[in-house]
């Protein structure tokens, strides 16, 4: 089998792979992007049907191309995927779709890597792993399979009609859990929502979206979250035109809130007694964003309308004052459970020595400990915004610069060597 040689191989053509291609091209780095399915596949097949972007179109995009919709609207997931396809076409990204990287390892005795794909062999000097921040769904092993209740992860949820008739328990209070519980309740289902620690910035405040406020307040650029808060869920929604996630209002609407899902035995599910605490901490986070925004507006003399009512919290619903601590699933008519509990990574195809005991890459801003291996798109790769559309752009630029720097050192070496090998003219 003939071996194709390439300078830099990018694995994955989601937003990270496309951003990487853009910056490699501007640095003059020859490269190839391999995608096992289609460009931005996860936006197409691993998100529910009604999902819209969590940020408005003016914000959740790359700097060089706008969405073809109202900049303040929240584009649907297909429009987001179409956007990346159009972007890849615009920059003529060298993407090869339908090719899966099966295995990559260092070339024996060499500086580069050998890559086995689903249809060929490739040798590359460098690899950028852009296979996503959210690769493998995870949920705690609380309810055994023999409990005979359908359990799915949020990445397999598409719409209410796919679930058996009856009530649904959604576990997880980040954007996915909240939006799915809301959709189920609006579709006429009885919905329960298991609420853990979360941040819930206001959708908009004083006429500006939270993406803008977090931007001007420097919160997207925070480089390290307070210890313990790295994985805290962010409860936001662009659905139905966008709204601030307020768990009291969700309860008022008919969703029953419960604390963290803790244990299961013989058809009984138990919840931690942390609901009030989790809601109170979420409120504190919400109010702190309002205060930060007010202080910013005052300091900069911004003429933005006051919004006193945003500071007022609705009364506590009954499910908050008298929390359910255990639930007989059959008695409550729970027909399905949806775990919106996040993801982990899977780099089993990448056989190099730069992973910790949990399989997480060891790296600094995406530059790994294994020379020639780079990671892009991971949460907190360099900052809070790293796994989001606008954030990955900046990380890709940094990594492309690092690759260009390494190449320039090697070019220097090659030139010197070529000069020294030239026969002397005297
Ligand atoms: C429900 C949900 C909603 C989100 N909403 C927003 C939002 O509104 N705004 C925002 O900024 N961010 C959002 N995000 C976060 C983030 O933007 C997305 O997760 C985005 O898909 C990440 O892009 P990526 O390119 O890093 O990874 P992915 O989109 O996961 O792309 C990785 C690509 O790599 C391919 N791949 C994987 N393994 C291989 C292999 N071995 N060989 C070849 N190809 C491979 C996959 O097929 C995939 O296409 C959301 C995330 C989720 C889960």
Higher pLDDT, 117 or 224: 117
Q: Is 338 helix (H, G, I), strand (E, B) or coil?
A: strand
Query: CA–CA distance from 368 to each of 10, 119, 127, 246 (Å)?
Result: 15, 27, 11, 40
What was the pLDDT predicted at 2?
A: 86
Lowest mean pLDDT among 77-91, 228-242, 287-301, 384-398: 228-242
Q: Which H/E stretch holds residue 8?
A: strand 3-11
What was the pLDDT predicted at 241?
A: 97
Is the model's pLDDT at 424 over the cut of 90? Answer: no
Kindly report, residue by residue over 331-375, the tens digit of the pLDDT. Answer: 999 999 999 999 999 999 999 999 999 999 999 999 999 999 999
Higher pLDDT, 225 or 404: 404
The yes/no answer on whether domain 142-339 falls in CATH 3.40.640.10 is: no
306 CA distance to ligand 1 middle (Å): 37
123 alpha-carbon distance from chain centroid: 30
What was the pLDDT predicted at 56?
A: 98
220 touches ligand 1 (CB under 6 Å): no
116 touches ligand 1 (CB under 6 Å): no
Which residue stretches of 164-263 are H helix? 175-186, 210-216, 247-253
Which residue, judged by its Cα, is nearest atom 12 of ligand 1?
388
Q: How is residue 6 written in tokens?
A: 């390439």
Query: CA–CA distance from 161 to each of 23, 287, 339 (Å)?
Result: 42, 37, 17
What was the pLDDT predicted at 109?
A: 85
pLDDT category, 1, cuts 50, 70, 90? confident
Which residue, judged by its Cα, is nearest atom 37 of ligand 1?
131
377 touches ligand 1 (CB under 6 Å): yes
pLDDT category, 229, cuts 50, 70, 90? low
pLDDT category, 224, cuts 50, 70, 90? confident
Other beta carbons within 10 angstroms of residue 346's beta carbon come to 12
271 touches ligand 1 (CB under 6 Å): no
Distance CA 32, CA 81 (A): 20
What was the pLDDT predicted at 168?
A: 98
> Nearest-5° angle of CA 64, CA 66, CA 67?
145
What is the percent of the chain with per-residue pLDDT over 70, rounded to a whole number?
98
Indicate if the alpha-carbon torsion angle 223, 224, 230, 233 is positive or negative. Answer: negative
Is the model's pLDDT at 426 over the cut of 60? Answer: no
Mean pLDDT, the chain, as a whole number? 96
Asked, colleague to colleague, whether 3-135+345-420 and 142-339 share their fold, the answer is: yes
Query: CA–CA distance from 3 to each of 10, 174, 300, 351 (Å)?
Result: 17, 45, 59, 19
Kindly report, residue by residue over 283-316, the tens digit of the pLDDT. Answer: 999 999 999 999 999 999 999 999 999 999 999 9
Which residue, judged by its Cα, is nearest atom 30 of ligand 1?
132
What was the pLDDT predicted at 425?
A: 57
Kindly report, residue by residue over 109-150, the tens digit of the pLDDT. Answer: 888 999 999 999 999 999 999 999 999 999 999 999 999 899
Quickly list DSSP for 225-243.
PPTT-TT-EE--B-GGG-B
| Domain regions of the chain by residue span | 3-135+345-420, 142-339
The yes/no answer on whether domain 3-135+345-420 falls in CATH 1.20.1600.10 is: no
């Amino acid at each position: 089998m003939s071996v194709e040689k390439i300078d830099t191989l990018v694995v994955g053509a989601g937003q990270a792979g496309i951003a990487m291609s853009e910056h490699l091209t501007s640095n003059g780095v020859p490269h190839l992007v391999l995608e096992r399915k289609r460009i931005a596949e996860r936006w197409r097949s691993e998100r529910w049907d009604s999902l819209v972007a969590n940020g408005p179109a003016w914000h959740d995009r790359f700097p060089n191309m706008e969405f073809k919709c109202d900049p303040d609207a929240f584009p649907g997931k297909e429009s987001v995927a179409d956007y990346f396809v159009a972007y890849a076409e615009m920059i003529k990204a060298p993407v090869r779709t339908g090719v899966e990287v099966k295995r990559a390892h260092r070339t024996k005795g060499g500086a580069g890597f050998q890559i086995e794909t689903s249809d060929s062999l490739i040798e590359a000097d460098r690899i950028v792993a852009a296979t996503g921040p959210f690769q493998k769904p995870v949920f705690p092993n609380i309810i055994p399979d023999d409990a005979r209740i359908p359990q799915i992860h949020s990445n397999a949820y598409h719409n209410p009609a796919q679930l058996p008739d009856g009530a649904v328990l959604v576990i997880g209070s980040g954007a996915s859990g909240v939006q799915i519980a809301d959709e189920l309740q609006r579709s006429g289902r009885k919905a329960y929502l298991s609420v853990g620690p979360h941040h819930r910035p206001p959708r908009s405040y004083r006429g500006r979206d939270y993406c803008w406020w977090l931007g001007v307040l420097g919160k997207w650029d925070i480089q390290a979250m307070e210890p313990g808060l790295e994985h805290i869920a962010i409860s936001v929604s662009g659905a139905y035109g966008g709204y601030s996630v307020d768990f009291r209002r969700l309860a008022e609407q008919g969703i029953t809130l419960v604390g963290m899902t803790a244990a299961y035995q013989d058809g009984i599910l138990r919840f931690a007694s942390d609901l009030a605490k989790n809601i109170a901490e979420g409120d504190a986070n919400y109010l702190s964003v309002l205060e930060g925004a007010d202080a910013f507006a005052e300091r900069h003399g911004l003429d933005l309308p006051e919004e006193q009512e945003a500071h007022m919290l609705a009364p506590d619903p009954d499910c908050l004052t008298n929390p359910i601590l255990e639930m007989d699933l059959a008695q409550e008519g729970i027909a399905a459970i949806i775990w919106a509990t996040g993801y982990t990574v899977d780099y089993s195809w990448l056989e190099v020595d730069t992973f910790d005991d949990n399989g997480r890459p060891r790296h600094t801003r995406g530059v790994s400990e294994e020379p020639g291996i780079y990671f892009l798109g991971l949460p907190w790769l360099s900052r809070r915004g790293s796994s989001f559309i606008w954030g990955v752009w900046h990380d890709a630029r940094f990594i492309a610069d690092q690759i260009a720097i390494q190449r320039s050192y090697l070019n220097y070496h090659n030139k010197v060597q070529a000069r020294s090998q030239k026969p002397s003219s005297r």
